[in-house]
């Protein structure tokens, strides 16, 4: 039960942080304005992503809204049905689901697109596409899920060789 409570808190904190930072970005950063945070390597810039991951398929907001809701629904079902709910699994799923909800809310609330505002890289070398806290939560959660599955597989192999 404790792991579900911690996952709920992590979900709520991550979602709240996403909502607050997006609102701050919209209120204080001009569209396409760049504000240096750590030199020019980390910048804040307000962009609206009207497409999918990394800005692909711009203009297909309804499609990505439907896909996002379907994926979120499958994640909720998967979370409910998973038998091995370790704290790592619960935390990872909380991050992924909070990120999905954060980006879905942008699309549902009539914004011009998903609010992206964190811009990392060097213009002369490579600049990562703009992202937001929800995107970061999804990536961190996905990495933690990979770690969870790696550990589970390693444990299964150890159990098979011991038995």
Q: How far apart are CA 19 and CA 104, in angstroms?
A: 11
Q: What is the DSSP string of the chain?
A: -HHHHHHHHHHHHHHHHHHHHHHHHHHHS-BT--EEEETTTEEEEEEEE-SSGGG-STT-HHHHHHHHHHHHHHHHHHHHH-S---HHHHHHHHHHHHHHHHHHHHHHTT-SSEEEEEEEEETTTEEPPPB-HHHHHHHHHHHHHHHHHHHHHHHHHHHHHH-
Q: Is 135 a catalytic residue?
A: yes
Concerning whether 18 is annotated as a catalytic residue, the answer is no
Catalytic residue among 18, 123, 135, 159: 135
Q: Is the dihedral of CA 146, 60, 99, 54 positive or negative?
A: positive
Catalytic annotation, pick one of 106, 116, 122, 123: 116
Residue 71: name the closest of 84, 52, 58 by CA: 52
Q: Which residues carry out catalysis?
A: 116, 135
């Amino acid at each position: 039960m404790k792991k579900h409570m911690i996952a709920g808190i992590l979900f709520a904190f991550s979602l709240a942080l996403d909502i607050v930072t997006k609102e701050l970005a919209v209120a204080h950063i001009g569209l396409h304005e760049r504000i240096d945070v750590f030199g020019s390597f980390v910048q804040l810039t307000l962009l609206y992503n009207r497409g999918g991951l990394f800005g692909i398929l711009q203009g297909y907001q309804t499609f990505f809204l439907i896909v996002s809701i379907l994926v979120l629904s499958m994640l909720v079902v998967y979370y409910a049905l998973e038998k091995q709910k370790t704290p790592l699994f619960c935390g990872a799923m909380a991050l992924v689901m909070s990120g999905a909800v954060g980006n879905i809310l942008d699309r549902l609330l009539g914004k011009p697109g998903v609010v992206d505002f964190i811009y990392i890289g060097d213009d002369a070398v490579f600049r990562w596409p703009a992202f937001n806290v929800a995107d970061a939560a999804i990536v961190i959660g996905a990495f933690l899920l990979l770690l969870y599955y790696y550990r589970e597989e390693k444990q299964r192999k150890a159990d098979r060789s011991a038995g």
